[in-house]
Structure formats: C-alpha cells, structure tokens
Structure 1
Amino acid sequence: IIYHSPILFEKAGFGSKRAAMMGTVGMGIIKLIFETYALLNVDRIGRRPLLLWGSAGLFAALTVLGTALKAKVASGLPGVTTSTYVVYGAIAAYSALHAISFGPITWLVLAEIFPAKIKGKAMGIATTVNRCTSYIAALTFLTMCDMMQWGGTFYVYAGFAAFAFVFYALFVPETTGLPLEDITPLFAEPRVLVRTNLRRMGLVKAS
C-alpha cells in the first residue's frame, strides 16, 4: 500500500496523478500523527494491546479495501464513486493502524527481547529479513493483482494480518516495565508463555 499508493488511488477513481499524490501525502500525515501517538503512549497502553489491536484492525481494513477495489473495478464506472471513498477510508485506516502497531512497536519489542550478547546480530538479522520481505511485497504486488485481481491480493494480505494477530496473541509477551533479565526467561517455556497470554485475554482461567 505504501509503495503503490498512487496507483491504488488512481485505480480507485482519483481523476489525476496530482489527486493521487495528494492522497499519498495525506496518508503520510496520518502515519506521522498515529506513530507519534503510539510512541508517546506505548508505556501506558502496553506493547501487546497495540500489536493486537493493530493486527486485528489491519485485517479488517485490508478486507474492506479489497472488497471496495473489487467493486470499483467490477462496476466499470469512471471517476469518484462510493467505492472511491471507501477505498480511501480503508487506506487511511490501514495507515493509522500500521502506525500504532507494525510500524514502531515491532522494533521496540525486538529491541527489548533479545539478550545483550546477541542483540546486535539479532537486530541485524531482523532488519535484513524486514527489508527482504518488503522488497518481495513491492516486487510481487502488481503481478499478484494481475493474477488474483485487486480484491484477491488484499485478501491475501488480510490473511497475513490475521496470522500476525494469532502469533502476537500466543507467543509475544507483554514487556512493558520488565528488565531484560526478566524478559528472556519468558521464552524458556513456550507452553507457559502461551497460557499466560491466553489468560491475559480472558480465554483461560488462572490455575
């Protein structure tokens, strides 16, 4: 979405490249506002809630975006339609939700969970993986749109967001306020970690 937003806005019915670029600028402003909010409030809200709310919201936003784009393309109507506004709203929601979760909070949690002796190497590997997957997503986006249509592509991305929600819910502990020596042992017993996380969500009772 970030890399190809001008194309998305044109496909949604924005009549000119200038309008599409202005939409992209608006998306950047939204990201700045919500990233600032997340960083100022992350210690109060917690890492896990932001990641869980963000991934659940991204699933919803991507599903709506795929459906609206599918409807816009299928209608064959030029210019701005109801689907155009839905597309822009979904993209704005995606930008805001990404900015409070996947954007800054992922890196914050990564910086907190790795032991000091491997932190430099581990963060380097995480950064490399992030850049490689971002490159693959940017490289394959238009091909996926050709193969699966616009709606299908965003449904796939929504599936990844749903997977992220499950992963965060089960395997990512709350690290707010914990010193490093208390964080590392949390990963020593995966079953205990999963049960603790499920208890936090009210899905299992405390033993």
Structure 2
Amino acid sequence: MQNLKVSENPVQLEHVKKKNPKKALKLITTVSTFGGLLFGYDTGVINGALPFMAKPDQLNLNALTEGLVASSLILGAAIGSLLGGRLSDKKGRRSLIMYLAILFLFSTIGCVIAPNASIMIIFRFFLGLAVGGSSVIIPSYLAEMSPSDQRGMMVSRNELMIVTGQFLAYICNAVIGNTLGDTGHVWRYMLVVATLPAVALWIGVVVLPESPRWLASKGRIAEALKVLQMIRNESVAQQELNEIKAHIQAEHKIEKVSLKDLRVPWVQRIIVIGVVIGGVSQLVGINSIMYYGTQILENAGFGTKTALIANVANGLIAVIAVMVGMTLTNKVNRRTMLLTGLSGVTVVLIAIGISTFVLTGSPALPFVVLSLTVLYLAFFQGAIGPLGWLIIAEIFPARLRGVGMGIATLFLWLCNFIVGLLFPTLLSTLGLSGTFFLFAVFGFIGIAFVAKNLPETRGLSLEQIEDNFKMRAIN
C-alpha cells in the first residue's frame, strides 16, 4: 500500500482552499468523526439485536455464545487500538481512516449475512479491529488538525459522536424491533443500518487532507505548509509549521524507552494508576448497560418490544451527560469529579441490586430499574467516561506516554471484553441483583484507590504533573 499524498489530489486541495479555515475545520471534524459514530453504533446495535439473534430459529445463542458475539468486537478493538497507532505512523492518518472505513463496511456486511454464530463472531472481531483503530487514530488526527485553543473541544467531539452513535442504534433498534419484530431476520435489518455511515466515511475521506504533523515528520514540509494554509489563517500557518518542526526535532533527541525505565518506582506508580483507572472504569459495569440494556430491562419485567423503546432513554441520557461532562472537565478538579462519579455509580448499582431483590415480581420493578440505569449513566458518562481517558493521557511523561497509554488502554479494553463476555453468564447464575452487587464491589475499590493514590492534575502542565510524581516518590 502506498501513502496517499495530499499533493496527489489537486481537486481535494482546491475544494478545501476555497473555504475559510473555520469551515474547513468544521468539515474535517464532521467527516472524520463518522468513525466515532460507527464506533458507537456498532457497539450499541448489539443491545437490541441480541434478543432476536439468540432465538432458536436464528443463531440459537446460549449465555456463552451471546457473550462471545457481544465481546468479540471488544477483543478485536483491543488489538486494533494497539496496531492502529503504528500503522497510521507509517501510512498516514488520512490513509488509515480510509482503510478503516472499508473495514467497517465489509465487516458490517459480513455480520448482516452471517449464517451462524461462528461466522458472526469472526466478523464482529474484524469489526472490532476497525473500532479499535478508529478509537486511536481519529482523536490523534483531530488533535493534529486543530488549533491549540480548540483542541479540547474538537477531540471531545469524537467522544460525543460515539455516544450519539449508540443513541441512534437504540432508536433504530426500537423502531425496527417494533415494526418488524415478527420478522425472523429483524436483527439483520438493525445491523445493516451501520453501512450508511461507513459509506459516508469512505466517500468523505476524499475531502480530508493529511495531517500536517505527519507530513512534516516524513520530511514533506511543503505539503504540510499547504495543509496548514487551508486550516489556519495565513499569519499563523508558517509559525505553526516552525513549532511542529522544532517539536519533531526535540522528539528525535528523546531516548527510546527501555525496560529499565519501567522499573523506576515513580514510573511504576503511574502505570498502576493508569491500569486501575482504565480497568475500574469498565469493571463497574458500564458496558453491561450499553451492550445488554435491553436484556436487563427484559429481566426486570419489560417485554422485548417495550424494553427496546425504554432503552432509548439510556442512550439519550448518555449523550446529554457527555455534553455536560465536556463542559465540566476544565471547571472541576479531576480527582473530585472522578470520586463523585464513582460514588454515584456505586450507590446506584447497590440500589439496582436491592430493588431487583426486594421488588421481584412487582409491576413497578422494570420502571425502577430503568430510572436507576438512567441515573447510573448520568454519573458515569458525565464524569467517569470523559475523565478516564483524559487522566490516562495526562499522567504519563512524554517519553513514556506511548508505552504507558498502550498498557493502560490495553487493560481498559480487556476489562471491557471480560464484562461483555461474562455478563450473560453472570446474569443466568447470579441474577440481576447479584451481578450488580459484584459491579458495586469494583466501585468501592475504585473509590478507595482514587482517594489514596490519584493526585490532582487540573491546571498543571504535563511537566508539572511529572515533577509531582517524582517529588512524591522522594518523599
């Protein structure tokens, strides 16, 4: 595969050059975050598709194969997140986004036509590769395209698009499930909708320029300047290019990370913090609701069609909470916000456990559980969701950021995979009450760990954060 050079696409260049920088950045953000939309839809659609897919005349799934169908995507995402960064460094951000769009499209088609559980699991794994790759590449691409004063908002747009994709999946599930629920292959109609944003991303890549940061790292300085002139005012384009070149030269002087670095006590402490925060953010059970929300509501007492409609509330509150969380991250201390989120979800998990135990058989139970899952998502998506990724990105020093974030992110994906795989089995063995009590245990672990070990990072430079860890190790 050859690198796609911006200079080889004069039509695309002229198209973007005719726009002012603000419009060009808006177009770039909109098109590239279709990857986030796909991420959200593909992880959310399984929520409504599984009850129909599991029927004996369809894929005939049991608790284990249900877990494998849901979690195989996550296992693929763990691998895709590890490979995506390296491939984009070699091939370019724009090129890899195009390949991911193709992978999204053909993996989705494979899932739609899957004749049995084995084929479904295989194609869900390939779909996960695209999800994991997009989770790394698209935020990196947006960070490299955005002006410094807009970086936080532009990058967080991808997180917003992820939960929006999940919300849209729940709406499509509810509409398709209630209008075509008596059709044998209704779940295939739910899955095929994901081909639309995949095609839009594939076509939209045509108007995306390559990252100037990546072009400059490959010595293609003239092309990097041309891209910056499209997305910046003329007065700052050359200045930013000089800063990029200086930063690349400084990176070349940084020594490569060795195993010796990972033995340093303060570095090990940072890695442990990253691993625990990443792991706990999944082990409190967020994706039991995002992947299996319909089954949870069914288990509580709703019928399948009613549960599909009720689950839309979960998607809506997730979108609203992420928008609120985005506005709070620069106003509220990270540690305080994370502890509030963990405390909130832990209390709600206990409340769900008690309610399902005390109200068994009561007609009020499904409405109580729905109200509590909405409250759970408000705490999680408003605090834990956005802060987990932000803290992991902040705490690692520059020369260890790639390795450190790779380790923390891998544990995050693996814990996500464990929850997705085991939730149907836990539900059948421990019941809804016991399963949510188990998630609450991890909530208590997270609260105790964050209270004791996580320093405050808001308002500090990355260098100051690193110095604080070193000083705490000395003291």
Q: State TM-score, norm by structure 2.
A: 0.38
Q: Residue 70 of structure 1: CA displacement?
A: 2.4
2:418 maps to which residue?
136
Question: Does structure 2 conserve the Cα–Cα contact (< 8 Å) formed by 1:71 and 1:83?
Answer: no
Q: Residue 190 of structure 1: CA displacement?
A: 5.7
* In 2, Cα distance between equivalents of 1:191 and 1:22: 56
2:307 corresponds to 1:25: no
Question: Does structure 2 conserve the Cα–Cα contact (< 8 Å) formed by 1:144 and 1:153?
Answer: yes
Question: Does structure 2 conserve the Cα–Cα contact (< 8 Å) formed by 1:34 and 1:96?
Answer: yes
Aligned match for 1:169, one of 446, 451, 457: 451
Q: Deviations over 1:78-134 (max 9, x none)?
A: xxx222221111100111111022211011111111101111222222221111111
Query: Counterparts in 2 of 1:1-207, with a 5 A limit?
Result: 1-15=289-303, 17-72=304-359, 74-75=360-361, 77=362, 81-188=363-470, 189=472
Q: Residue 154 of structure 1: CA displacement?
A: 0.6
Q: CA RMSD in A?
A: 1.7
Question: Does structure 1 conserve the Cα–Cα contact (< 8 Å) formed by 2:396 and 2:404?
Answer: yes
> Which of structure 1's runs of 4+ aligned residues deviate more than 6 A?
none
Aligned partner of 2:407: which letter? I
Q: Residue 67 of structure 1: CA displacement?
A: 1.5
* In 1, Cα distance between equivalents of 2:431 and 2:374: 21
Question: Does structure 2 conserve the Cα–Cα contact (< 8 Å) formed by 1:46 and 1:176?
Answer: yes
- Alignment length, in residue pairs? 186
Q: Deviations over 1:159-181 (max 9, x none)?
A: 10111111111111111110111
Q: Residue 23 of structure 1: CA displacement?
A: 2.2
* In 2, Cα distance between equivalents of 1:92 and 1:158: 16
Larger radius of gyration: 2
* In 1, Cα distance between equivalents of 2:467 and 2:365: 49
* In 1, Cα distance between equivalents of 2:353 and 2:419: 16
Aligned partner of 1:119: which letter? R
Identity of aligned residues (%): 32
Q: Which structure carries more relative contact order (alpha carbon 8 Å, separation 6+)?
A: 1
Question: Does structure 2 conserve the Cα–Cα contact (< 8 Å) formed by 1:47 and 1:105?
Answer: yes
* In 1, Cα distance between equivalents of 2:305 and 2:335: 39
Question: Does structure 2 conserve the Cα–Cα contact (< 8 Å) formed by 1:50 and 1:100?
Answer: no
Question: Does structure 1 conserve the Cα–Cα contact (< 8 Å) formed by 2:296 and 2:432?
Answer: no
